[in-house]
Structure 1
Amino acid sequence: MTFHRRTFMHLAAGAAALSAVPGISRAQAYPSRTARIVVGFPAGGATDIQARLMGEWLTERLGQQFIVENKPGASGNIGTDMVAKSPADGYTLLQVVTPAAINAALYSNLPFDFQRDIAPVVYVTRLAYVVVVNPSVPATTLPEFMAYAKANPGKINYGSAGQGTPQNISCELFKMMTGLNLVHVPYKGGAPAVVDLIAGHVQVIFAPVSEAIQQIKAGKLRALAVTTKTRLDVLPDTPPIADFVPGYEASGFAGIGVPTGTPPEVIALLNKEINAALADSKIRSRITELGGTPVGGTPAEFATIIAEATEKWGKVIKFAGVRAE
């Protein structure tokens, strides 16, 4: 078969144009198969639910399945290690949450360096915690609780989901800034800690809003303050701790990351689609119900959040002498 010179030149020009922008062709081909979002915690919690929201959205928008795979253990380190060692091709994503920043200071022998090995994609949600007490505690406001704790040093127990968890570290920050003497009682998970708080075995917890909101509404727990700088839509009558302890803030975060080396055009596509999800009213409403605030933004902005949190919680861990379990 003989090609005309004009036809040949046209094809050659087209090939040259494609080779000059390999990222475009790769982005158009992605995804071509099932991808997974690894969650380093058990199914059913707020972290898991948010990952599934993003997975469903990406599945609908990109035409391939984005399934959630739970790999709980070691405060999320098992899941993170798995993703850090996965191919950097966009088919293994990580649900990035606050313990990633805490663990960098809490563990001295991690098999990965989070900020080196995981590339941020997007900051999905700012997470809040709420200071809740058993109704038997003689305090209806945070200042009353602080006065009660000051009058009873070492006699008030606070529960958490375990050593080095956000509940533990956010309360240690509170102790550091107020000088109060509260005794830590770690549990193997947030749910049993809340159960014991309701039973009166501990007196206070800095609990994820998603774990305490129903008990607050039912009157089984009393909300005194939230850890964010501003009030929450789901708890509009509960003031921030910062109203009484200037400068206090203990927001958590949830977002998406991928192995470092993932093609930038794939990261850009995921970032674009998840930002679109965060503009959707139904998804925003569901995140708010879970006690979160939809955020979004660029990968660089999320990287800044992670770096700042790593530095902040590292200082608290050092000051409080927190040790990994």
Structure 2
Amino acid sequence: MCAFGAIVWPPRLPRLRGANILVATRHGATCPAGQSTFLGRTHLAQITRRTFATGAAAAAAVPIAGQRAHAAYPGNLTVRFIVGFTPGGAQDILGRVVSDRLGALWGSPTVVENVAGAGGNLAMDRVAKGPTDGSQICILPPGIATNPFLYSKTPFDPEKDLIPLSQVATLGNLLCVRKDLPVNSVAELIEYAKKNPGKLNFASSGVGTTVHLSGELFKRMAGIEMVHVAYRGSAPALNDLLGGQVDLIFDNITSIIGHARSGNVKALGITTAARSSLAPEFPVVADTVPGYETTSWSGVAVRAGTPKEICDKLEADTRKICQDPILKDKLATLIAEPVGSSAAEFQAFVQAERAKWGKLITDIKVKLE
């Protein structure tokens, strides 16, 4: 006598109408021909073609194990958030905030890994070539839009290998000048530059950074000339601005706001489209240069090929945490605003950033190797 279990069918059903068909086993046990056990009673399994079709349809309605795993994402996974920059910077802090809040929402462990180098390319490449089970999430930086134009070759395809799912945060840069430069507004800076062509210089944290590209875009849109002075990082650039060795910088507001508020530098304007609710004292550069806007931002992305169920879950949960008061408070320390866009909105934004910066980078002929 065998235990009740799965039904094993021959490749083709017999043509005999009403024929008895073998019912078999669980764990490999077999029954005597034509018999099965069900709740202790022995009976003949009179299973016809119609009964088989009904059973097959019912079986098809049962979710497969993989589908159940997707619905339960992240389940038992330890999700790793891959950040393309060193610890302590804005992108790293944003990544840790996202990791913390999603981990709290899921009730499961999360880890932040810093894979710094090549303007975020190394981290993006790690995720682009990683698993498709949602266990690796890229903290997506602006480099996804700019790096294809800055580097002759990237180790992954930025347009095909990653799926942007939601923009988490955005923050502006702050146009600041040395405190003894005889200008007190964006309009006065432009006038001074036109009267002294080529004499002004602007510092940046490195070629191709948002700090650098903000200055290049300003030059072009304001119709002025300035000399770019690239540093290896924000700290040495800021030190030379404080010391008067350089004239101005479009630095991330997170890095420079303390000096601006203390009067160590003069802040002329923020590069966002509207005043920041977190720093409303700074006017908008676009009030003087219409259409000017640059931001640093961060979002989440996964490897292409990740199942839709996982992508949808991660998108929805990321949007949810962007309404989390704890996340908002932590972003406020960076003077960053939460976004929480949909995948479609974020992907359209990334494409617009590619078009905007690709044209500028190509025009000014900047390349990194």
Q: Which runs of 5+ in 1 are unaligned?
A: none
Q: Does 1:52 align with 2:96?
A: yes
Following the alignment from structure 1 to structure 2, what is the Cα–Cα distance between the partners of residues 133 and 65? 44
| 1:1-325 mapped onto 2 (5 Å cutoff) | 1=3, 2-3=37-38, 15-19=59-63, 23-324=67-368
8 A Cα contact 2:73 2:313, kept in partner: no
8 A Cα contact 1:120 1:257, kept in partner: yes
Following the alignment from structure 1 to structure 2, what is the Cα–Cα distance between the partners of residues 289 and 18? 48
The TM-score, its normalising length taken from structure 2, stands at 0.83
Aligned to 2:10: none
Q: Which runs of 5+ in 2 are unaligned?
A: 4-36, 40-44, 46-50
Following the alignment from structure 2 to structure 1, what is the Cα–Cα distance between the partners of residues 355 and 237? 27
Counterpart of 1:188 in 2: which secondary structure?
coil
Following the alignment from structure 1 to structure 2, what is the Cα–Cα distance between the partners of residues 119 and 256? 9
- Larger mean CA deviation between 15-24 and 202-211 belongs to 15-24
Query: Amino acid of the residue matched to residue 306 of structure 1?
Result: V
Following the alignment from structure 2 to structure 1, what is the Cα–Cα distance between the partners of residues 197 and 187? 15
Following the alignment from structure 1 to structure 2, what is the Cα–Cα distance between the partners of residues 26 and 198? 52
8 A Cα contact 1:233 1:288, kept in partner: no
Closer, same or farther in 2 for the Cα pair 1:146/1:103, shift >3 Å?
A: same
Q: Alpha-carbon deviation of 1:267?
A: 1.3
Q: Deviations over 1:141-195 (max 9, x none)?
A: 1111111111221111101111111111111111111121110000111122111
The share of aligned pairs that are identical, in percent, is 37
Q: Deviations over 1:190-248 (max 9, x none)?
A: 12211111111111111101111111122112110111110012321211111001111
Q: CA RMSD in A?
A: 2.1
Relative contact order (alpha carbons < 8 A, sep ≥ 6): 1 or 2 greater?
1
Corresponding residue pairs, total: 323
Following the alignment from structure 1 to structure 2, what is the Cα–Cα distance between the partners of residues 319 and 29? 44
Larger Cα-atom Rg: 2
Closer, same or farther in 2 for the Cα pair 1:71/1:20, shift >3 Å?
A: closer
8 A Cα contact 2:101 2:327, kept in partner: no
Counterpart of 2:137 in 1: which secondary structure?
strand
The TM-score, its normalising length taken from structure 1, stands at 0.93
Counterpart of 1:82 in 2: which secondary structure?
helix
Following the alignment from structure 1 to structure 2, what is the Cα–Cα distance between the partners of residues 50 and 74? 19
Q: Alpha-carbon deviation of 1:17?
A: 2.5
Counterpart of 1:114 in 2: which secondary structure?
coil
Aligned to 2:25: none
Following the alignment from structure 2 to structure 1, what is the Cα–Cα distance between the partners of residues 90 and 356? 23
Structure that is richer in helix per residue = 1
